[in-house]
């Protein structure tokens, strides 16, 4: 629903809240569900693996960027960093896929 310059969206449920972004106001309500306590350790372990993979990805990307700023950049080092980035992305994507079934 639009009211003046605001866009208002309402979703039914048991809990409610309002989110304002720019000229938009979003009213959200819904039932809060909790993660099965038996899954928490496994989900946390996967999340920690994702964080480690993303840290490696950022380190490789930063190293490649720094090498790219040098004149002239060393081709072998840039390619090595790009290979690391590819490996880290593949690892992170696999970990994200492993978490998805745990969420239900």
Does an H or E element contain 29, and which? strand 24-30
84 versus 7: the higher-pLDDT residue is 84
Q: For 24-53, what is the mean pLDDT?
A: 76
Cα–Cα distances in angstroms (integers) from residue 19 to residues 1, 25, 32, 57, 89, in the given order: 15, 6, 17, 32, 32
Q: What percent of the chain has pLDDT over 70?
A: 66
Q: For 21-48, what is the mean pLDDT?
A: 73
CA dist., res. 81 & res. 19, Å (int): 40
For residue 7, name the pLDDT band (cuts at 50, 70, 90).
low
Among residues 32, 26, 38, the alpha carbon closest in space to that of 13 is found at: 32
Among residues 30, 28, 44, 29, the alpha carbon closest in space to that of 102 is found at: 44
Pairing mode, if any, of strands 15-21 and 2-3? unpaired
CA dist., res. 18 & res. 27, Å (int): 4
List, for residues 54-103, the tens digit of each pLDDT value. 888 899 899 999 999 999 999 999 999 999 889 888 888 888 787 777 76
pLDDT at 10 (0 to 100): 46
Residue-range domain boundaries for the chain: 1-32, 37-103
């Amino acid at each position: 629903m639009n009211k003046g310059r605001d866009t208002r969206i309402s979703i039914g449920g048991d809990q409610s809240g309002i989110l304002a972004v720019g000229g938009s106001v979003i009213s959200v309500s819904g039932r809060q569900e909790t993660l099965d306590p038996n899954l928490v350790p496994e989900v946390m372990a996967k999340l920690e693996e994702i964080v480690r993979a993303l840290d490696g990805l950022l380190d490789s990307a930063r190293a490649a960027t720094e090498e790219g700023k040098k004149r002239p950049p060393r081709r072998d080092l840039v390619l090595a960093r790009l290979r690391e980035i590819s490996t880290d992305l593949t690892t992170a994507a696999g970990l994200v896929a492993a978490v998805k079934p745990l969420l239900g």
